[in-house]
Structures are given as C-alpha cells and as structure tokens.
Amino acid sequence: MSYTLPLPCGCTAYVSCWPDTGVAHTRVIEFRGASCRVRTHDRGRRVYLWELLPEATAQAEFAVPAALDRSATEASAAR
C-alpha cells in the first residue's frame, strides 16, 4: 500500500506501508513544491514523521463526544 500526502510547504511525500500491518516503512519527497523553502526537501530524500504533522502554531479545537465526556456523566451521576 502506498499514499501520496501534501505537505504544508507545498511538497508531496510518498509514503509506503507494509500491507500486513499498515505501518509506514518509507517516507520520501516525491515532488518539491515551487514555493518550498526547506533545504532538505529534495526529490527522493527521506521525510521524517514530524514533518508530516500539522504546524504547531495552528491550534485546532477538538470537541469531546458526549459519550466520552466523563465530566458530563459524573455530574449526572452525582444528582
């Protein structure tokens, strides 16, 4: 199994996974983006896992589903 993932810098990464487990064993730059400013993003170079993660400055708000929200179930049990 293999995937192509867009990176925040504009490059495209090729990710190859073991078919039995789905664990990624290869991550390389497939195409370099025109506006990429990362010097190590050359075609065929290895991509580290932390480069695939979203930017730390982009704070995402995560909503906890009601079924998993323990504070709501504890409050109703205390009544």
Query: How many domains, the chain?
Result: 1
pLDDT of amino acid 14: 93
With bands split at pLDDT 50, 70 and 90, how would you rate the model's confidence at 69? low
User: What is the per-residue burial (b if ≥16 Cβ within 10 Å, else e) of 46-57?
Assistant: ebeeebeeeeee
Q: Is the pLDDT of residue 61 over 80?
A: no
Per-residue pLDDT tens over the stretch 32-43: 999 999 888 999
Per-residue pLDDT tens over the stretch 19-28: 898 888 999 9
24 backbone dihedrals φ, ψ, rounded to 5°: -70, 130
Domain that holds residue 49: 2-78
In whole angstroms, what is the distance from residue 30 CA to residue 15 CA?
9
Q: Which residues contact 34 (CB under 8 A, 6 or more apart)?
A: 10
Token pair, residue 37, equals 């400013």
With bands split at pLDDT 50, 70 and 90, how would you rate the model's confidence at 62? low
